[in-house]
């Protein structure tokens, strides 16, 4: 399984439903799900969120 590291802002785009970016973030999730890619974030992203 491949892994992809996503930025904190992508997570926030989804969580906060940021109008300008949420559709792109959703597309990213759909692509990773379709291609069996594991999404990862850094430990510092967890504390930032």
- Give the tens place of pLDDT for each residue, 40-49: 999 999 998 8
pTM flag (> 0.85)? no
Pick from 11, 2, 1: which is nearest to 41 by CA? 11
Query: Domain count of the chain?
Result: 1
For the stretch 18-43, pLDDT in tens is 999 999 999 999 999 999 999 999 99
3-state secondary structure 1-49: CEEEECCHHHHHHHHCCCCCCHHHHHHHHHHHHHCCEEEECCHHHHHHC
Q: Which of 2, 13, 12, 5 is nearest to 37 (CA)?
A: 2
Q: State which residues form the domain around 44.
A: 2-48
């Amino acid at each position: 399984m491949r892994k992809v590291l996503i930025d904190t802002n992508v997570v926030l785009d989804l969580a906060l439903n940021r109008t300008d970016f949420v559709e792109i973030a959703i597309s990213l999730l759909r692509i990773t799900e379709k291609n069996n890619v594991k999404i990862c974030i850094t430990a510092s992203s967890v504390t930032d969120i």
